A and B are shown apart, each in its own frame.
Chain A
Amino acid sequence: MERTDNLLRMLRTNYIASQDEILDFQWKNYVKHTVSGIRVDDVDSYREALFVLLLSKENDSSIFTNIVRARENARSVQDYITKELWQNLNDYYHLIRSPETERTIREDDPVTAMDLLLRESTLFYGTVDITMYRGEGYAFLNLGKYIERTLQILDILQLRIQDMGTSPNEAVHWKYLLYSLSGYEFHTKEYKNSLATSDVMDQLFFNTRFPHSVMYALLQTDRYFDRLDALSLPENFKEIKFLIGKSISDLKYRMHPVTEVKYIQELIDVTRTQVVMCSGKLATRYFGYS
């Protein structure tokens, strides 16, 4: 669900940018980098691109697929989640399948459809917060949420850098990057709207008051993992705690200031590798996936 929320915000932002500021927006490139299981050449308009990214059943990473899978997961753990949460996911599922959603995206204002989907997403977060008891399920749910958030931040940043290419107007791209992570208003207040690369990277990687920063997400991952201490085998807990701690330390005590694309790319790669490793270990140690 975290992935769904992040993707929706990113698509909404990119769609708006394509309408009003970034002329000649390359949806095709965009689909190429984010979609699996679809021929990119079949996508020849922004409507088609939005359909593929949002509603396609063939696209393994579409919002539709995400929600269907989240609902299937929820169905299998109904004894761990509340009835309200299950109902919320069910509503979300029916909304994404509704013909009206498809019509709005294909023929009308896509922002309206995305806003309705985002409203369900917001309800999901609220329902989790208000109704779930703070037990093992809640800890794992948040653990997954913040690991996914870290990866999404890195992916969205990576996409924006590719999109930016050698564009002379970096500030516009940074602005839309921040919009897609719900961080533009924070940036205007905290960094006085500078949109300088160093400030944007500081916000995205290190600012612990920005909920879509890598550091914030990692600290939250650490926080929720700590709650599993009493429920874990000591050696499993120690191993993963070390990996989370190492990711945080490496980010905190990095070698280079993050102001040039090559260092940004390096940081994305290193952080992603560490988080993926951590996530993999969690899966094997706690869920027995090999």
Chain B
Amino acid sequence: MSFARLTETYSSPPNIWDEMCSGGSIRPPYQSLVQSLKEISLADLSSKDDMAKKLFMSQGITFTVYNSGEGIEKIFPFDIIPRIIHASEWAHIERGIKQRIKALNIFLEDVYHNQFILKDGIVPAALVYSCPNYLREMVDVKVPHGIYTHIAGVDLIRDSDGSFYVLEDNLRTPSGVSYMLENRNMTYRIFPGLLPKSNVRSVKDYPDLLLKNLKALSPQQKSEPRVVLLTPGIFNSAYFEHTTLARLMGIELVEGRDLVVDNAKVYMKTTAGLKQIDVIYRRVDDEFIDPLVFNPDSILGVSGIYYAFRKGNVALVNAPGNGVADDKAIYPYVPAMIKYYLNEEPILKTVPTYSLDNPDHFKLVFDSVHKMVIKKTNESGGYGMLMGHTASENQITEYKHEVMKNPRQFIAQPIISLSSVPCYIDGKMQPRHVDLRPFALFGPQGIEAPPGGLTRVALREGSLVVNSSQGGGSKDTWVLTS
């Protein structure tokens, strides 16, 4: 059997947008790929699949799971068939992301300063003030160039009509970009010659763009500002990403214990003495960044770093306090923000969202719970969710009790059938659901979105949960030049 035969026998699920097939024919972006791979045999595909696994392992592209005190290296499952996005689709996504990030950034500046949007009643003040990620410590703090959302990973899904919807705006410490880069490296290894003839846009510029933006944020006018990446350490599941980005940008990878604050300036300890740090790309959450201001038990952050930031002596990327803008309860107000701040219609759609502290919404949601997904507003990674269509009556009842204890912490959305893509699983081409996380970089010169992103795949048949922590995998994402 060959790839061509696999394609012929591939059956996309009904009533779902399949990225490759439409009514039995191949969509234009995939035609070149299908043509190029048609002669590849099943055995070759399987050996390519094995090769990808070995390369991920030998290159250490893994995350660590700890069990019985022993670290087990696991690879983030990778599917060898790329997901392809047409140039015009990408142009739409890119415009939508830029619009959204711009509006969310203004929202953050507003909500921590003049609060016009609250005074005008566009976003309820109670919702903002009850958000656990709204940091009162950030009120009236000026951030360099007025930028809060330096790095964003916007989760997009595609409904059955082919429209892209924003599912989440990840504005704190979005991860996954290293997999975007490594997945591309994997593709040219397993399919030699395929990328150049497929007119795929490169994603390699990401580290250079990020470094350019980080340097531009230096509070002092220096020709060579010192930039570091602050990691929680080797036990963090995204540690591979931290080391990869630090290496690609040529900046130091530091932990909290490597830094010290003196006279409201942050210094790195080196064998040649203390060196002042200008910009910190931190992958440590707000809560742990400074034990003197936030969680006093934190040993991941640096005492006094927040004060140095407030004084304008160091830039923190992303800015603290962004969690209020990507809170799931704030999410339904983003279209209103776009209209309010930019006087534009939202380019990307938003999934209808019900706040469960609203009694009408509460009733509506639990009356049709089998069509709903209920989420905690401050959780991510697929944790704390109830998928109504697969939950048992017991699970629903228990979850309902949980919601009633603190309804502000929950929202509900109708289940959207994520689009499907062909995946090579167990020697067959099988449809699996995917989302897309493109990354946007906001610097003093504007917002840039490298063409591509991380396509996450729900590898379990029928599953809509794509998170890596819940058995998800990933694919290379191609954006075509034309």
Contact = CB atoms under 8 A, between A and B. Distances in A.
A23 B202 CA distance: 10
B38 to A, nearest CB: 16
B101 to A, nearest CB: 25
Interface of A: 16, 18-21, 23-25, 46-47, 108-112, 185, 187-189, 192-193
A68 B307 CA distance: 65
B196 A185 contact: no
A192 B192 contact: no
A192 B249 CA distance: 8
Main secondary structure of the interface of B (DSSP, over half): helix
13 contacts: A19-B188, A19-B192, A20-B185, A20-B188, A21-B204, A25-B196, A46-B193, A108-B192, A109-B192, A111-B189, A112-B51, A187-B250, A192-B250
A193 B190 CA distance: 29
B188 A189 contact: no
A46 B185 CA distance: 18
A19 B196 contact: yes
Most chain A CB within a 10 A radius of its CB, from B192, B196, B202, B211: B192
B208 interface: yes
A193 B189 CA distance: 26
Contacts, number: 44
B250 A188 contact: yes
Contact of A193 (B51, B192, B202, B211): B211
Contacts of A21: 202, 204
A189 B250 contact: yes
B299 interface: no
A18 B196 contact: yes
Given A19-B188, A20-B188, A109 B204 contact: no
Contact of A188 (B195, B204, B249): B249
B250 to A, nearest CB: 2
Contacts of B192: 19, 108-110
A21 B192 CA distance: 14
Contacts of B195: 19-20
Most chain B CB within a 10 A radius of its CB, from A21, A24, A185: A21
A185 B247 CA distance: 7
A112 B189 contact: yes
A192 B196 CA distance: 30
Contacts of A16: 188
A113 to B, nearest CB: 11
Interface in B428-470: none
B224 interface: yes
A192 B224 contact: yes
B208 A193 contact: yes
Contacts of B196: 18-19, 23-25
Interface string B193-214: 1011000001010001001000
B375 interface: no
Given A20-B188, A109-B190, A111-B189, 10 more contacts: A18-B196, A20-B202, A20-B204, A112-B189, A185-B247, A187-B250, A188-B247, A188-B249, A193-B208, A193-B249
